[in-house]
Structure formats: C-alpha cells, structure tokens
Amino acid sequence: MNAIISASELASDLAGTNPPVLLDIRWQLSVAKAAGEPPFDGRAEYAAGHIPGAVYVDLDQELASTPGARGRHPLPDIARFGAAMRRAGVSADRAVVVYDGGQGWAAARAWWLLQWAGHPDVRVLDGGLPSWEGPSETDTPTPAEGDFTPEPGAVQLLDADGAAALARGGVLFDARAGERYRGEVEPIDRVGGHIPGAVSAPTNENVGTDGRFLPAEELATRFKSLGATEGTGVGVYCGSGVSGAHEVLALAVAGIPAALYVGSWSEWSSDPERPVAVGPDPQ
C-alpha cells in the first residue's frame, strides 16, 4: 500500500461507498515570535475551512505528551491517543487519510503514530491542503465513535541508545536543516550540533516546490547515495520527532523501512552526558 495519496485519488475515495476517515492535523513549529505576532492556531485554521468531513486533531495535545526530559514531543499517553482517534471516528477496519497545511510534518507525525499503534491503512495527502481542489466546509462534523485500540510496536522505534548504536552500525539520518546539523545555529535546543555519526539529510529536500514528494525513484536514489543501501539498518531523528516522521514517510515512499527516534535532538541535547558533534563531518 502506498503511504501517500493524491488529491484526485482522495476525492474519488471520499465519493465512494466506504470513504476514509479524514484527519486535519494543521500545526506549525512554535518558535520565538515577533512582538505582537499571534501564535499559529491550527484549530482556528480548521474552523475557517477544511476538507468536508475532516476532524481536527491537535498535535501538541493528542499526538504528543507533555514536553520534558524525553523531548518536546514525546510519545503520547497511549490511552489518550486512542481516545482521540476513536473520537475522530478511527476504526481498525476503515482507511484513514491525514493532511495538514502543506508542510507535511504534522500529517506525517499522525501517519507514523497510527502505524506504530497498529492501524493497517493510513495515508498522507501528498501536498496537504493546498493540493486539494474540491470543496471546503466550516461545519464541525460529529463522526460515529470509532473502535480503534492502539497496540504499540507495529513499526520500529528508537531510543537515545538505539540511535547512537545505529549511527555507528547502520545509517542515522538527521532530518533538520543543514545549519542546525552543523551547529551553526540552534534556535530552540540547549546546544547545536548532531549525534556523532549521523548523516545530514534535510527533509525539505524530499519534496518539490509544490510540497509534494519527489518520485519514489528519485527518493530511493537520494537515500542510497547517503548510505541507505540494501541490508543497512536505517533510522531518522530531527528536533522533536515531527519532521523526522516526514523523513520516515519519504523513506517509505522510496521503499526503505526506517525507525524513528521520537525524542530526537530535543531529548539528546538536554542530556549533558551525551556527546555532540559539530560541522559537516558526521563524526
């Protein structure tokens, strides 16, 4: 099953006899704002217009737990996550499609979590809401309660020690911007740099100017050139397990399975005992 779906394919599926559950995951990374600039409000964006039938899901509240020692977006409490998915109408025997405002990170986080929790049929709208050419609505739907019960462990998950080991014995991709990998800037976390041995692979290089993923063949060529060769274990991290999920999704489109280090740099860098590398060299 393809991990992504085009807008035209989604329109066709929504018009069918068994339409997918549709989740709106609009979100933006919260960083320091200019004086007087309001923070991004995904729920307000959703209320202003969304794909008909879509249910809003809050990334910070429902797809992550409270920030702390395990990072800015730790795994959510599994009971709370399951309840949020059932509220949105998610059931084990019904397909799910997730989308966001176009960047793809938040939708990929929802895709990865549902896969990790055992849902068998989840796809991301390629290009997000900007790719949708159909109607929109402002009404908030009230779907029938779903029956999805999360069973974590269906896909690979890394902790800090596992990420360190994979950086030595496989390939660990750093999905952040290159300047953060090199330690030239660090707008959020305690210290800049990267996990020793990790390879820089910015996730924004996996998509075109329209926000859609590059063709699978191009993605496969890119990742193989960076070390994801056959038989090599592959992992991904980012700042807090959101853009990293987008890179795992890109790898899935390329046909390459990969594990996600959810704690990512926000967890790693908060521990002064963990080594930090700077500069363009992985080591």
Which residues have a catalytic role annotated?
Answer: 238
As given in the structure block, the two tokens for residue 2 are: 């393809």
Q: Which of 204, 174, 168, 153 is nearest to 269 (CA)?
A: 174
As given in the structure block, the two tokens for residue 189 are: 């976390």
- Give the Cα separation of 179 and 175 in Å (integer): 11
As given in the structure block, the two tokens for residue 48 are: 């202003």
The answer to whether 270 touches 70, Cβ cutoff 8 Å, is no
- Give the Cα separation of 125 and 135 in Å (integer): 15
Can you tell me whether residue 88 is helix, strand or coil? coil
Q: Is the dihedral of CA 94, 105, 269, 167 positive or negative?
A: positive
Q: Detail the DSSP E strand segments found in 146-190.
A: 157-158, 171-174
Distances in whole angstroms, Cα of residue 21 to Cα of each of 12, 33, 91: 14, 34, 9
